[in-house]
Amino acid sequence: MSKGECIHVEIYNTLTRRKETFQPREPGKVYIYVCGPTTYNYIHLGNARPLIFFDTVRRYFIYKGYEVLYVQNFTDVDDKIINRAREDGADPLELSSRYIREYFKDADALNVMRADKHPKVSEHIADIVKTVEELVRKGYAYAVDGDVYFEVRKFGGYGKLSGRTPEDMLAGARVEVDVRKRDPLDFALWKAAKPGEPSWDSPWGRGRPGWHIECSVMSLKYLGAGFDIHGGGHDLIFPHHENEIAQSEAFAGKQFVRYWMHNGFITVNEEKMSKSLGNFFLVRDILAKFPPEVVRFFLLSTHYRSPLDFDDEKMAAAGRGLERIKTSIRLLNEAMERPVDRSRAPASAGEGSGLDAKAAALEGMRISFEAAMEDDLNTALAIGVIFDLARETNSAVRQMSGRLSPEESEYLKKAAGLFHMFNEVTGIFQTGPDGRILLEGSGNESSRLTEGLLSLIIEIRQEARKKKDWGTADRIRNGLKELGIVLEDTPQGVRWKKQEQIFR
């Protein structure tokens, strides 16, 4: 693909409430920020949907030749983390770090590519303080008793993402009540320290960031104002993303994000998944019952903006559908192993017309797949094309027997290449070192085990370095090097490298 070839993607922009032709800020490049989890527990199915969908968006742009800078944060400073740490008798930041490690285990299992940047709130406190200071200086924020609030009515465009008026918002149950605020709609940028909570120095005293300012600061730092796509779940439109727009545009004086994309809710028996209803499912528990490729397949089988209803029977049905695709790939692989009889004369026009038509159908499927993805990233339609490919290749393989003709061999290679291309975008199956699709779990489990063990070893080395135990740190680095694993200490964290390919 030529660089940035994909110029006709239609994206539904929550900000304008219509589909728009995607035009990147910079030719050939796409800048994406996706809200990551608050790390106080294992991720749940509602977290997994945006992770998998926006990973697929990223994959498609890469497939079309774009250079993609993809940022997904971790909220590791938050009320929920503090409350959970208090219940467990743990340090909040240590608890958060533990669940970040657990996040990567689940995300790796679901074949979610590591982001180019995984910023943590705790590592960006100085940036947050500077941003809040600037908002106070510009008159958009005010301090009260060590807290700092954003004054919503000073920002004229407030409500443009959610489509709500201030009166609508005041009637909502999610507006925080605080008599010290100038307006009930005002939201916290900085919170004064409370006993037992993590806190940092600031011009307003010890404290910690509010939730909304975190994503604004980290996205602006790594992507700059006016970046291309900001993604997240529908539940983040208000207040989180609405507040992000207000504080970011007040700070930068220009447009914050060009395209806002939001995936629909996960429902269980047509009720929104929530802890209060007792229908809350952790990905870790689901993966104990269903293979990760089935979970990913299931979540991509419905258009991202539509609600997605979950239950075991629907997951089982997704598994059966995926098995049909896997069977087709197996049959195709077996057929490709047959010897090719290159002494056979090329088929005449009449003899080869059936295979010619099938080869033409393959190209039609590629076009249909791309058309589905370019119509608001419609993965449901794209998966329908994968089923079409499975049926078409099954029919073709059944008509082949004995040694393959050169034309038959070429057809099989094209079909296999198309399966690979479709998987390159959807990420349903893991791939092996040779690029082949892995149809069984053993290779996936081995890959996840390797990633997990290396993450643990790197963490132990980092702890040794913090304690200035250079002997242990060097022993770990040198021992891994002898095994063919090279560690690289970078400003963004430790990377490990094998055979000249870097993994974050």
CA distance 365 to 459: 45
Q: Say which CATH number the domain at 391 has.
A: 1.20.120.640
Mean pLDDT of 109-133: 98
> Do 39 and 123 have their domain in common?
yes
> Do 417 and 476 have their domain in common?
no
Q: Say which CATH number the domain at 255 has.
A: 3.40.50.620
> Do 36 and 101 have their domain in common?
yes
> Do 37 and 77 have their domain in common?
yes
> Do 373 and 490 have their domain in common?
no
> Do 460 and 397 have their domain in common?
no
DSSP character string of 163-180: T--HHHHHHSTTSPP-TT
> Do 148 and 186 have their domain in common?
yes
Confidence of residue 320 (pLDDT cuts 50, 70, 90): very high
Does the residue 84 lie in any domain?
Answer: yes
> Do 25 and 168 have their domain in common?
yes
Q: What is the DSSP letter of 3?
A: T
Token look-up 């490709």 returns 336
Query: So what's the pLDDT on residue 179?
Result: 81
User: pLDDT tens for residues 43-94?
Assistant: 999 999 999 999 999 999 999 999 999 999 999 999 999 999 999 999 999 9
User: pLDDT tens for residues 401-457?
Assistant: 889 999 999 999 999 999 999 999 999 999 887 778 988 753 445 555 666 687 789
Q: What is the mean pLDDT of the chain?
A: 90
Which 3 state secondary structure label does DSSP give 346? coil
DSSP character string of 206-218: SEEE-HHHHHHHH
Token pair belonging to 66:
């774009």
Confidence of residue 501 (pLDDT cuts 50, 70, 90): very low
Residue 498 burial (CB < 10 Å; 0-12/13-18/19+)? Answer: middle
**Residue ending a domain, choose from 196, 228, 263:** 263
> Do 452 and 399 have their domain in common?
no
> Do 329 and 466 have their domain in common?
no
Does the residue 48 lie in any domain?
Answer: yes
CB 322 within 8 A of CB 298: no
Which 3 state secondary structure label does DSSP give 289? coil
What dihedral angle (degrees, nearest 10) is formed by the CA atoms of 112, 115, 121, 125? 180
Does the residue 307 lie in any domain?
Answer: no
Which 3 state secondary structure label does DSSP give 379? helix
Does the residue 282 lie in any domain?
Answer: no
User: Taking the mean position of all CA atoms in its chain, how far away is CA 388?
Assistant: 27
**Residue ending a domain, choose from 401, 426, 451:** 426
Mean pLDDT of 379-390: 98
CB 438 within 8 A of CB 444: yes
> Do 324 and 382 have their domain in common?
yes
Does the residue 434 lie in any domain?
Answer: no
Does the residue 111 lie in any domain?
Answer: yes
DSSP H or E stretch at residue 242: helix 242-252
Query: So what's the pLDDT on residue 449?
Result: 62
CB 116 within 8 A of CB 71: yes
> Do 391 and 481 have their domain in common?
no
User: pLDDT tens for residues 252-295?
Assistant: 999 999 999 999 999 887 777 766 666 778 999 999 999 999 99
User: Taking the mean position of all CA atoms in its chain, how far away is CA 368?
Assistant: 24
Query: So what's the pLDDT on residue 466?
Result: 87
User: pLDDT tens for residues 460-485?
Assistant: 998 898 899 999 999 998 888 888 78
User: pLDDT tens for residues 173-195?
Assistant: 455 567 889 999 999 999 999 99
With a cut of 70, say whether residue 492 has pLDDT above it: no
With a cut of 50, say whether residue 503 has pLDDT above it: no
**Residue ending a domain, choose from 246, 263, 280:** 263
Does the residue 436 lie in any domain?
Answer: no
Provide the domain limits for residue 343. 312-426
Domain count, the chain: 3
Query: So what's the pLDDT on residue 231?
Result: 98
> How far, in Å, are 117, 326, 400 from residue 334 at the CA level?
40, 12, 12
Does the residue 155 lie in any domain?
Answer: yes
Q: For 110-238, where are the alpha helices, taking DSSP H only?
A: 125-137, 166-171, 211-223
